[in-house]
Structure 1
Amino acid sequence: MSYLSNHGISKDQQQKFGIIEDTDKVTFPYKDKEGNFLFNKYRHLDQRSLENGKKFSFSSGYKPVLFNIQALDQDYVVYAEGEPDVVRSDQEGIPTVSGSTGAATFNKDWVPDFIGKRVYICLDNDDTGREGARKVAELLLRGSVEEVYQLTLPEDCKDICEFYSKGHTKEEFLNLLENAQRAKLEDFKDTQNQDDSLEDESGDKEENESITKQVIKLVLESGAKLFHDQFNDSYLAPTGNGQLVFRLKSKQAKSWLSYLTWKYIGLSLSSHPLNSTILTLEAMACYEGPQISLAIRVAKEGEIIWYDLGGKTIKITSEGWDIVEESPILFRRFPHQKYQIEPKSGNKLDELLDFINLERQADGRLSDEQLLTLCWLVFGLVPGLPHPALVLYGSQGSKKTTLHKILKELLDPSSIEVNGSQKNITEFVQTVSHHWFLVLDNMTYLPEWLSDAMCRVISGGGLSKRELHSDDDDILYNFRHIVGINGINLMIEKADLYERSLIFVLKRIKKFKTEKLFWAQFEERKPYILGALFDTLVKTLQIISTTPEPEGEFRMADFAHWGPTIAQALGYEANDFLKAYKANIYKQNKEALEASPVGLAVIDLMSDQDRWSGTPTELLSELDKIALKLRIDQDHKSWPKDARWVWRRISEVLPNLEEEGIKASKGKDDARLIILEKTLTNDVGNDNDGGQIPNNQVQSDIKDNKGDIFGGGVD
């Protein structure tokens, strides 16, 4: 068994961290907070490959840093002994870091990164690890980290990897966190002067209090603004406007306070007065400062739409767009976000189509997918409304990821262009809250919790993330952001996400370019495409008030309202958009029913009758017979296991069945009865040209594909 698999580390985790295992060594890449490569640490496996007889060595560029430092974005963190423990713990969705040189050393320069967080120390379960844990705890406490806990593993587990390899679960580990012993500074009085590395640099208490008061006075007189956001996080705007906005717990805020103190007081701000200053400013921001809602990349203020370039902003109204040096306080910025290039006006947005793999119609006109993509992109600059998820699927070489990356570059450029699968709701909420447009790349499966969470992000429902050791409090999030998903196969199974999506099938391209050439050509034209994007939004704002709102026909009503107007701003007809969108909705309905074994069975049941009624037990009996006939897998998780689940499964596709002309309802006099009725007399649906498609053709299409999804079927 390999070194990594012996530690229980999955292939996905190896890929996520960029870990490489060779026959003689394992390579662990170290990165900074922005994800930039720093150096490699090598764990030598073969006795012959040991450097100077040591198990570990480093590449050039080595310096003492934390491994997986990005985990410090979380509100709590586990400090472990080595890289395998970090990667294995992260595999369970638990934020974990380690030092670069093991339990014996902890660099005191790392302490500020832990301030304001709950730190759980979990070093190896041996004498060296226990002594190292004491030293780390003391350093953190003396550096004003208030919540430090020492976690004890079961006696038979040396480290985190062994904890999981012996069959223990994430829930058990979380229970260990809940019951971890909190460290107190008085526990270390005897060792205060024993080690220079543990020296308390706090100085005289009265002097520190005096410095804290001077710094706070300096901040208040500097023109900086203190405020809290919609989630009650405390912020500082050093210039009083939106040019710079720092979360008070952030490294940027500490750096600015240190700079201010040195420049105007001539003092180097040590950790104790610095932390006291931050705690006081946080309280002032929370209880005395105004609440200002912060957005990511795009914001709306009255009739003005603002777009964040990364310092400068673009102000967009129906009269035009302008680049503004000093904007109001509107945006929160994260390290992964890139500065957006300044746009240049005067081009057509259609130029974008030269870079994405969506084909025109045979006569040269825009295809439905092309028009919908352009309208979706412009609508992506309108905040506060539900945006359809952009779902792409197709074979390898169909440039699904490239299309999403290009749209990401235009809407929300980031050093993290696309993300992968999400382990749990906590990770997803953390990730999506940091992106205006989040792309989940190369997905093979969407768990039910993730599908539901995406629907809430699209529609604006609340999401929560529980904080450990906070009296069971939840961090509550409520925002509307944009999501994109791609994969080789269509991975959506739930009808409610289908209804909130645009679905495109991409074909494999015939001619490929090198990545270097392709992106160089795109970057050259990007300012002009971006300018055309803002020009189109301005034209849209000029005429949106004259566009009638749709009357209950569309699930994504705001997109159906803005889309025709955007199409007109692009030089097309409003009806071009409506036809294209209706065709895509027809595809959504078809795909939703294909994903529902019960939906397929109900359609077959009603294929030769106009009405059926009976109890759930009777209906399940009928559906079981049809499942055998159609070779639908009755072990599929969506197939009802007993009569109690029948109505629930039908309810999941009620709107889709109604689109197929089948109404399902409960009996008025007897709630146990389920009634199925045909409602369409014309027996038609919409095709791509706005014409009509017989429903029996729709049903035939669905039946032709069922075997590929649920098992069985004809080879």
Structure 2
Amino acid sequence: MSDDEKNPAREVITDYAQAHFRYFRTADGTVYAQKNGHPVARPIRSQGTTGSHRQELMVGLFRDGRGVFNGTALKEALDLIEALALTEDVQPTHIRVAPGFDGATWLDLGRNDGKSVRIHPTGWDILTPDPQEVCWRRTQLTGELPLPAKDTDGKGIDLLLRLCNFASAETECLAIAWLIGCLEPSVPVPAPFLTGPQGAGKSTGGRMLVRIIEGMSGDLRRAPKDEENMITAVAAGWVTALDNLSHLPPDLSDLMCCIVTGAESIKRALFTDGDVVRSRYRRPMLLTGIDVGVIRPDLAERLLPLRLVRPRVRRTEAELWTEYAEILPVVLGSLLDLTVKVRAAQADTPTDLRMADFAHLCAQLDTATGFGSLAAYRASLDDLNDDVIEGDLLAQTVLKHAAGLDTGAEVRMSSSEWLHCLTGLYSGEECRPLKGWPTTGKVLSDRLKRLQPTLAARGVLIDWGRTSSARYIEMTRPATPPPHQQDAAF
């Protein structure tokens, strides 16, 4: 009788698993299995359609002649392995991009052989990452990328821009800056909003940008109807692309802000009373649409408007995507070459912009190429501020009131007094309730806090304070313009 026949099935499975797989846990306590020498890790409890650890363990046992085991033995063995793994070191898993050792970053090509791109300070290489350095997590949204071409001399960027219908050179350099930002896991990037007239190729352009990072299977999708579905979609991929948006309700707007700059979601774990599941997420986003209506100020600071124009010559979908698939290796290679140059460039970080990391990336891109991406980014934010003001009656009324103040003047009033003052300015002597207008001093104060950056960009400063007896809101029209307006004056 062989040793395997003498030992219980669960021991045979456990010994085989520990010999052929590495088990570890993430910070949230999820246990992953990683085949020896391969960078892709799978949660041992997953039953996903992309392949579970249970399936690869069963296949390995069968092909190595260890036998076919029933579900009970597999469950007992995996329970023991999971318990043992909870004592191991913590290591994160990553989707598509990941930080590496010595300042390098990795790009997962989604290939079965695990080959990935290592972007380092002096160049980039196609390698199989050390499992101790990078653990990839894959889902159905993880498409396969082609092997990027070497020595492209930058022609891939020109080939890409020739297929897109961007309205100006400024828009093109902002799109390139966003693509470079998508390859940096530690840098939050604003969400491009592809807009333009009907027939401008917004959806097609969005797909082209997304597929450079996510492969030919990457696509746009409709916005989920609730937060839970949105978080699930965001967690399963790297770039979240939403198509044909016609309006942005407040809840979706706030959620997009969280996705762009990072947040954490907590929900009750299944089949438990007190345990929870933590979901951390910060992902690049991309939006398309003709007009989304009123944009809230906090989201406006996180958007990157990219305007497209209608093409003069129409092409069939089959012809367009066939050409795109052919040039994608060259496009990806050129983007990687440019990313290395941009990261090596030295540039000051603008201190007056909300998305300072992306602004710094734009400054580095300008240093490396001579583009005007930082100026284009400032101009795009200025346009978005105009959109916010045009869609907000309170912002318009505050600016109208501030226009009557002397330069350097400071006005302090309580929130209720400001409400009476601004209401009278807007509606005249009637002071009747207005649809969408603040109804109390507290509501006014909250609205002004959201509008504070937008108003500051137009030279009106709002601040809050209190005296010994009451709180007040202070409005100031400073004598000096905002920093970026000063820069434009020279």
Per-residue deviation at 1:516?
A: 0.6
Name the structure 2 match of 1:282: 82
Query: What secondary structure, in the 3-state scheme, does the structure 2 residue paired with 1:653 have?
Result: helix
Query: What secondary structure, in the 3-state scheme, does the structure 2 residue paired with 1:489 have?
Result: coil
Name the structure 1 match of 2:144: 339
Name the structure 1 match of 2:31: 234
Per-residue deviation at 1:502?
A: 1.0
Q: Does 1:656 align with 2:459?
A: no
Does the aligned pair in 2 maintain the 1:208–1:273 contact within 8 Å?
no
Give runs of aligned pairs for residues 250-265 of structure 1, distance below 5 A.
250-251=46-47, 252-265=52-65
The 2-side partners of 1:632 and 1:423 are apart by 36
The one-letter amino acid paired with 1:564 is A
TM-score calculated relative to the size of structure 1: 0.61
The one-letter amino acid paired with 1:594 is E
The one-letter amino acid paired with 1:515 is E
Q: 1:506 to 1:270 in 2, by over 3 A?
A: same
Aligned equivalent of 1:647, options 445, 454, 467 = 445
The one-letter amino acid paired with 2:115 is K
Deviations 1:361-396, CA, capped at 9 Å, x for gaps: xxxxxx211111112211211111211111222332
Name the structure 1 match of 2:91: 292
Does the aligned pair in 2 maintain the 1:238–1:245 contact within 8 Å?
yes
Q: Does 1:318 align with 2:121?
A: yes
Q: Does 1:358 align with 2:166?
A: yes
Q: Does 1:666 align with 2:474?
A: no
Q: 1:379 to 1:683 in 2, by over 3 A?
A: closer
Give runs of aligned pairs for residues 24-173 of structure 1, distance below 5 A.
none
Does the aligned pair in 2 maintain the 1:395–1:508 contact within 8 Å?
yes
Per-residue deviation at 1:238?
A: 1.4
The 2-side partners of 1:256 and 1:215 are apart by 12
Does the aligned pair in 2 maintain the 1:312–1:327 contact within 8 Å?
no
The 1-side partners of 2:432 and 2:14 are apart by 69
Query: What secondary structure, in the 3-state scheme, does the structure 1 residue paired with 2:462 have?
Result: strand
The one-letter amino acid paired with 1:267 is G
Name the structure 2 match of 1:622: 421
Per-residue deviation at 1:241?
A: 3.4
Deviations 1:646-671, CA, capped at 9 Å, x for gaps: 11101111111111111122354254
Name the structure 2 match of 1:57: none
Does the aligned pair in 1 maintain the 2:10–2:77 contact within 8 Å?
yes
The 2-side partners of 1:679 and 1:649 are apart by 21
Q: Does 1:424 align with 2:221?
A: no
Does the aligned pair in 1 maintain the 2:216–2:325 contact within 8 Å?
no
Name the structure 1 match of 2:398: 602
TM-score calculated relative to the size of structure 2: 0.88
Q: 1:517 to 1:414 in 2, by over 3 A?
A: closer
**More contact order relative to length (CA 8 Å, sep ≥ 6):** 2
Task: Name the Cα RMSD after superposition.
Answer: 2.7
Query: What secondary structure, in the 3-state scheme, does the structure 2 residue paired with 1:652 have?
Result: helix
The 2-side partners of 1:425 and 1:269 are apart by 41
Q: Does 1:301 align with 2:106?
A: no
Q: Point out the structure with max Rg over C-alpha.
A: 1
Does the aligned pair in 2 maintain the 1:378–1:566 contact within 8 Å?
no
Q: Does 1:506 align with 2:308?
A: yes
Q: Which runs of 5+ in 2 are unaligned?
A: none
Does the aligned pair in 1 maintain the 2:96–2:136 contact within 8 Å?
yes
Per-residue deviation at 1:548?
A: 2.6
The one-letter amino acid paired with 2:55 is S
The 1-side partners of 2:226 and 2:262 are apart by 19
Does the aligned pair in 2 maintain the 1:377–1:407 contact within 8 Å?
yes
More moved, 619-628 vs 658-667: 619-628
The 2-side partners of 1:448 and 1:351 are apart by 38
Does the aligned pair in 2 maintain the 1:212–1:276 contact within 8 Å?
yes
Query: What secondary structure, in the 3-state scheme, does the structure 1 residue paired with 2:32 have?
Result: strand
Name the structure 2 match of 1:585: 381
The one-letter amino acid paired with 1:280 is L
The 2-side partners of 1:472 and 1:478 are apart by 19
Name the structure 1 match of 2:173: 371
The 1-side partners of 2:400 and 2:362 are apart by 36
Aligned equivalent of 2:357, options 558, 582, 587 = 558
Deviations 1:456-493, CA, capped at 9 Å, x for gaps: 22222222334454225432222321111221203463
The one-letter amino acid paired with 2:459 is G
The one-letter amino acid paired with 1:314 is V
Give runs of aligned pairs for residues 177-576 of structure 1, distance below 5 A.
210-222=8-20, 224-242=21-39, 244-251=40-47, 252-285=52-85, 287-302=86-101, 303-310=103-110, 311-328=114-131, 329-345=134-150, 346-348=152-154, 349-360=157-168, 367-413=169-215, 415-491=217-293, 493-543=295-345, 546-550=346-350, 552-569=351-368, 571-573=369-371, 576=372
Percent of counterpart pairs with the same letter?
A: 26
Number of residue pairs matched? 467
Does the aligned pair in 2 maintain the 1:412–1:437 contact within 8 Å?
yes
The 1-side partners of 2:11 and 2:442 are apart by 66
Deviations 1:154-195, CA, capped at 9 Å, x for gaps: xxxxxxxxxxxxxxxxxxxxxxxxxxxxxxxxxxxxxxxxxx
Per-residue deviation at 1:685?
A: 7.2
Does the aligned pair in 2 maintain the 1:306–1:316 contact within 8 Å?
yes
Deviations 1:252-296, CA, capped at 9 Å, x for gaps: 2121111122233542122211222222222222x1332111111
The one-letter amino acid paired with 1:344 is A
Q: 1:584 to 1:343 in 2, by over 3 A?
A: same
The 2-side partners of 1:529 and 1:340 are apart by 11
The 2-side partners of 1:632 and 1:391 are apart by 38
